[in-house]
Structure formats: structure tokens, C-alpha cells
Chains A and B, each alone.
Chain A
Amino acid sequence: DQQVKQNSPSLSVQEGRISILNCDYTNSMFDYFLWYKKYPAEGPTFLISISSIKDKNEDGRFTVFLNKSAKHLSLHIVPSQPGDSAVYFCAASAIYDYKLSFGAGTTVTVRA
């Protein structure tokens, strides 16, 4: 069963605007959440993370929001740039588990 879900397979956004990517999870034991970015023919690279004790984490243009009661997190990219065009994966781990469950990914295309 898919414990981490990204229901939007793709997102197209104009350069300079905000990109919002969504992720839902079902396992209440998940305690730590990560976003990865993946370019074609490369491995995923870590982007930003958040632990369950926080509801927001910022790193430059990237902000992740966590709503534990709704089992929902989102990634905001502001402003979107052409280099942000990639596949974004949401991932989650239970505390001290060190195994990640991944969503199916959202392909972001930033239009000039």
C-alpha cells in the first residue's frame, strides 16, 4: 500500500511565480519528512526536510509546511526558476527507522 501519496503527477508554472507541491501520508508513525529533487539521468538529491515537532522549515526559496493533524505536507518554491524544472519526491520516515517511503513524484515544469 502506498503510504506516501503525491496526487499531482505534474505541475506547470510560469517563471517567477510560486510552485506548490502537495504530499499526503497515511502512517501516523511517520516523524520526519523530506523532499528530494531529481533531474533526468541523475540520482535524487536532498532538498529540504522537516521533523514532526515543527510546522514550517525554510531554506532560501524553498519552504516546507507540515500539517500533522491532516497528515499533509507541502513544498513551496518562490520564485520559481527554470532550473527548478525537475521531478520532486516526497519521502517520510518513522523515528529511528532510517527507511524512507517515497511518493510517486511530481514533475515540475517552469515556463519562461
Chain B
Amino acid sequence: NAGVTQTPKFRILKIGQSMTLQCTQDMNHNYMYWYRQDPGMGLKLIYYSVGAGITDKGEVPNGYNVSRSTTEDFPLRLELAAPSQTSVYFCASTTTSGSYEQYFGPGTRLTVT
């Protein structure tokens, strides 16, 4: 099992550009999440999904969009990138089997200049 994979690992965007961060999990987990981590801060939830076709906003959704067409994939779309979106982005997944443990990908470091 590869677990949770994310691409790209690094990206530099200019202000106003758009991009999609990819996330795939091979554990057949129903729940998937996107977080951002800013320096000295904890992880903030951007969006989450409880299954294919179902998504919902987290704590900091503004400037982002998501879709969940399959169980495995949960891409995060940034439209009109802004310097405030400079951060490290983590995708995670879990199964609702009683454990609340989330499995994280390696992260994408995004810089918007």
C-alpha cells in the first residue's frame, strides 16, 4: 500500500494563477481531508469529504474548491492564488471503523509570489 500520496511536492505560483493539488489514497477510506499548515501554527481544516460525491467546508475554505468523484481521489483547487495561500498543504484520510486516526500524505509546499 502506498497510503496517501500527494503531487506535486513543491510549487511556486504567481499571484492570480490557478492550480490543482492532487491527493490519492489506496486504503479504501471513506473520509478524506485537506489541511494547511502555516509556520508556528497547527493544521487548519480546509475541506473534507465523507464519501464520493459529498464534500463540506472546514475551518478555512475561502479561496479553495474540492471535488470527490471517486473514493480514491480528492483534488484541491486553488483559483486566483494569493500570497496568503502560501503554506504547506496536507491531505489525509480515515475510515469510520471506530478509530479517529487520520493517515497523512507527505505534503505540498506552495509559495505564491
- Give the interface of A toward B (CB within 8 A): 2, 4, 6, 9, 32, 34, 36, 41-46, 49, 89, 93, 98-100, 102-105
Q: In residues 52-109 of chain B, which contact A (Cβ within 8 Å)?
A: 58, 90, 92, 94, 96, 99-107
Q: 20 additional contacts, CB 8 Å, given A32-B100, A45-B104, A104-B41?
A: A9-B40, A36-B104, A41-B106, A42-B107, A43-B90, A43-B104, A44-B104, A46-B102, A46-B103, A49-B99, A89-B43, A98-B31, A98-B94, A99-B48, A100-B45, A100-B100, A102-B35, A102-B44, A103-B42, A105-B42
- The binding surface of chain A is classed by DSSP as loop
Q: Is the CB of B31 within 8 A of A102?
A: no
How many A-B residue pairs lie within 8 Å, measured between CB atoms?
55
Q: How far is the CB of B23 from chain A (nearest CB, A)?
A: 11
Q: Give the number of residues in B that approach A within 8 Å (Cβ atoms).
A: 26
- Residue on A nearest B96 in the bound complex, by CB: A98
Among candidates A9, A41, A100, residue contacting B102 with C-beta atoms closer than 8 Å: A100
Q: Is the CB of A34 within 8 A of B42?
A: no
Q: How far is the CB of B44 from chain A (nearest CB, A)?
A: 8
Bound-complex Cα distance A64 to B105 (A)? 25
Q: Is the CB of B90 within 8 A of A44?
A: yes
Bound-complex Cα distance A110 to B50 (A)? 39
Bound-complex Cα distance A108 to B48 (A)? 30
Q: Is the CB of B107 within 8 A of A43?
A: yes
Show 13 A/B contacts (Cβ-Cβ < 8 Å), sorted by A.
A6-B42, A9-B40, A42-B107, A43-B105, A46-B101, A46-B102, A46-B103, A49-B99, A98-B94, A99-B58, A103-B42, A104-B41, A105-B40
